[in-house]
Amino acid sequence: MRSAGFRRNRRIDRTAAAALVTVLSLTLAACGTSSSSSDDDGDSGGGSSDPSAPLDPKAKVTLSIDCMPPAAKAAELKEWNEDVKEFNKTYPNVKINGKSTPGQCLEPPRFTAMLKAKSQPDVYYTYFTDLQQVLDNDGAEDISAYVNDKSVPALKDIDPNVLDVLKKDGKLYGLPTSNYTMGLLINRKLFEQAGLDPNSPPTTWEEVRTASDKIAGIGGGVSGFGEYSAGNNGGWHFTASIYGLGGDVVDATGKKAAFNTDLGKQVLENLRTMRWDDDSMGKTQLLKWGDLQKQIATDKLGMFLAAPDDITYMVQQLGAKYENFGMGPIPGAKATLFGGNNYMIKKGSSPDKIKAAIAWQNFKFLTPGKGQFEWDRTKTDKLPVGLPQPNFWLGESKTKDDALRSEHATMPVENFKPFMDNPVKGKAEPPKAQEIYKILDVAMSGVLTNKDADVDKLLSTAEQQVNQVLATQ
């Protein structure tokens, strides 16, 4: 499972680091993160020329794949090696060369440099938001003809919203490994202390305000609700909030801002009311990713918008306990911001290499009960089991995965029942997301740091600036 720290790094604008690209391109080439000539030695093909036919087990193929767990993640690396061994029982002639170059999967400048240098491995990790950048650099194979119910038997059960993010002009360029959607993360201990029911988190902003006020009434420096307003995180959460209310940030054409509306005003007015009229959000503002996690993990914050993997980060990095947290759907629940990760296949790969890559991804990431979804093994290896995500399944696959996840849970899964039982349709981030988020940070910080902030002016100014950004596409 990808930790929340991965998502934090995704908030960094890859294009903003262009100055590092040339140097990093040379570094990557020297480090050999791409398939070396030895990777291709012995690739003999021999499979069917029909792209819709799965890989022939007799075909000899070598694959370089990045984001293999590093040695520091001993349990995850153990599982990777076990999966390679199990995969080779079916495909004994596929050699998998895992790559775990430090930072390769985390650092946006390195990713951009890799694409420009054409030095990516045969199978490489990307975020949902990377597709356009990859296509601009002619970096990925169109795998539409290769992906079907024979090569990926559970294909029909993958959420189409997730697959759509990996498509352009009807062509499929990647397969998912994980996903997340936003919801309302709560501190159950503080809810109980405030006389609130932690099994029924607020579902509207009016309820959030009431709960926030009661939690802040505990005293001792406890805040009821927390929000970001710096580091592009404020704009990210403004987007999540307006999606929840049924609004948008950019219109359907992708060329015009769409947030200077009554719903956009509602987002900012809600925050201003809680911050200044109720005084339930605390005095410290201009918060960025990591600040709210520290507050809620130390019982100083009652609620904030988050994804489930934030909980893993707080337990593993901050010493919190799973049982102290719960989740409900995002307030409003009209839509929720979603994202995630996937693998793509390097442009120019042979048909057998493409088939081998899809076969590996199917085994490792896309089969309930196997690979990353082998929850009994995950529990044995003392890794977390029971968080609601990654979970891009529908239908029979979801039923099977939910049952296994619950059976082998290492945490109280009932704490997340309101979130799981009330799924909200996911909605992708807007184009030029990081540039837009930076602009919307100003609107968010405006109402959280200035009691007399003019909401109409903040939104109008942001609208003008976003329209300028979108005009440069």
- 465 pLDDT above the threshold of 90: yes
**What pLDDT does residue 434 have?**
87
Please report, as a single letter, which amino acid is at residue 253.
T
Domain ranges of the chain: 4-180+339-414, 183-335+424-471
Asked if the model's pLDDT at residue 43 lies above 70, the reply is no
- What's the one-letter identity of residue 76? E
Please tell me the predicted confidence (pLDDT) of residue 186.
98
Closest CA to 308 of 327, 290, 322: 327
Q: Who's near 434: CB < 8 A, 6+ residues apart? A: 11, 12, 13, 15, 16, 232
Average pLDDT over residues 50-71: 94
pLDDT at 34: 34
Return the residue matching tokens 């397969």.
Answer: 175
Q: Which tokens go with 38?
A: 């030895």
Question: Same CATH topology for 4-180+339-414 and 183-335+424-471?
Answer: yes
Tell me which of 116 and 45 has the higher pLDDT. 116
Question: Can you give the pTM of this predicted structure?
Answer: 0.81
- Report the pLDDT value the prediction gives residue 388, as an integer from 0 to 100: 86
pLDDT-derived band at 423 (thresholds 50, 70, 90) equals: confident
Indicate whether 142 pLDDT > 70: yes
pLDDT range class, residue 106, cuts 50, 70, 90 = low
192-218: pLDDT as tens digits: 999 999 999 999 999 999 999 999 999
At position 450, the amino acid (one-letter code) is N
Residues 6+ apart with CB under 8 A from 472: none
Fold (CATH) for 183-335+424-471: D-Maltodextrin-Binding Protein; domain 2 (3.40.190)
Q: Cα separation of 413 and 264, whole Å? A: 34
- Is it true that the peptide bond before 108 is cis, omega within 30 degrees of 0? no
Q: How far apart are CA 224 and CA 261, in angstroms?
A: 27
pLDDT above 90 (res 102):
no
Return the exposure string of 239-248: e unless at least 16 CB atoms fall within 10 Å of the residue's CB, then b: bbbbbbbebb
pLDDT category at 31 given cuts 50, 70, 90 is very low
* Fold classification of 4-180+339-414 (topology level): D-Maltodextrin-Binding Protein; domain 2 (3.40.190)
Residue 417: both structure tokens together: 């029942």
Please enumerate in sequence order all residues whose Cβ is within 8 A of that of 298, keeping only pairs 6 or more positions apart, or say none: 318
Question: What is the spatial order of strands in the sheet that 301-306 belongs to?
Answer: 223-225, 301-306, 183-187, 325-329
Is residue 45 predicted with pLDDT exceeding 80?
no
